Amino acid sequence: MKIDRNRLAWFLKNIRIDHPEELSDEILIDKLANYMEVNPDFVDMQGVSHPGRFSYHTVGYGVFSLLGERYRMGRIEIFDSKSDSGY
C-alpha cells in the first residue's frame, strides 16, 4: 500500500488555508479520514511503500465453520527479487 504524498501535501496545504485558526488533532483526523473515504484512489493498494529485496502477497484467505468452530486460513507468498526460483 502506498499513499500519494503529493495529494497529501495538497490536502494539508488547503486545510490550513480553509481553517486559518489552529486545528486540533481531532478535527484534522476527521477531515483527513473524510477526504480519504471520498477519494479512495488516494491510497494505492497495489503500490509498494518500501521497495526492497522481499515482497509478499496474500494469495488466499478463507473463514469457515466446522461443527460450530470457526477457523481462518490463508496463504502468503513471499518473493525474493534476487532469486530466480520465483519464491
pLDDT of 59 reads 78
| pTM listed for this prediction | 0.49
What pLDDT, on a 0 to 100 scale, did the predictor assign at position 64? 73
| Average pLDDT of the segment spanning 4-20 | 86
Give the DSSP H/E element, type plus range, for residue 72: strand 69-80
- DSSP annotation of 64 reads E
Tens of pLDDT, residue by residue over 22-58, are 888 888 888 888 888 888 887 877 766 667 777 777 7
